[in-house]
Amino acid sequence: MTLLGPAVAAPTSPTAPLDDPSPRYQIVENPGDLEERFTEEEIRVLERLNRADGERMLRLDHLVVPDVFSHDPLVYSPFPDQVDGLAGKSKALLVHQPLQVWAAYEEGRLVRWGPVSTGREAHPTPSGRFFLTWRSTGRESTVNSDWFLEWYYNFHNDRGLSFHQYELPGYPASRACARLLERDARWIFDWGESWTLDDQEREVLEEGTPVWILGEYDFHAPAPWWDEVAPHPAIPVSEIEDWLSAEDESASGEG
Are residues 165 and 197 both part of a single domain?
Answer: yes
Q: Which residues of the chain have pLDDT under 50?
A: 1-20, 255
Are residues 138 and 210 both part of a single domain?
Answer: yes
pLDDT at residue 83 in the model:
97
pLDDT at residue 7 in the model:
31
3-state DSSP helix/strand/coil % of the chain, to nearest 5: 20, 30, 50
pLDDT at residue 146 in the model:
67
Q: Is residue 229 part of a domain?
A: no
162-202: per-residue pLDDT in tens?
999 999 999 999 999 999 999 999 999 999 999 988 887 78
CATH code, domain carrying 120 = 2.40.440.10
Q: Give the integer Cα–Cα distance in Å for 183 and 172.
A: 19
Are residues 64 and 145 both part of a single domain?
Answer: no
pLDDT at residue 147 in the model:
66
Provide the whole-model pTM: 0.88
Which residue range(s) make up the domain with 164?
Answer: 78-223+239-254
Residue after which a domain boundary falls, among 44, 75, 106: 75
Number of structural domains found in the chain: 2
Are residues 200 and 110 both part of a single domain?
Answer: yes
Q: Is residue 191 part of a domain?
A: yes
Going edge to edge, which strands form the sheet with 128-131? 109-115, 101-106, 92-96, 210-214, 128-131
Are residues 158 and 187 both part of a single domain?
Answer: yes
Are residues 103 and 210 both part of a single domain?
Answer: yes
pLDDT at residue 4 in the model:
39
Residue after which a domain boundary falls, among 49, 75, 101: 75
Are residues 160 and 210 both part of a single domain?
Answer: yes
Beta pairing class for 92-96 and 210-214: parallel
Q: Is residue 95 part of a domain?
A: yes
Q: Is residue 194 part of a domain?
A: yes
49-67: per-residue pLDDT in tens?
999 999 999 999 999 999 9
pLDDT at residue 49 in the model:
98
pLDDT at residue 6 in the model:
33
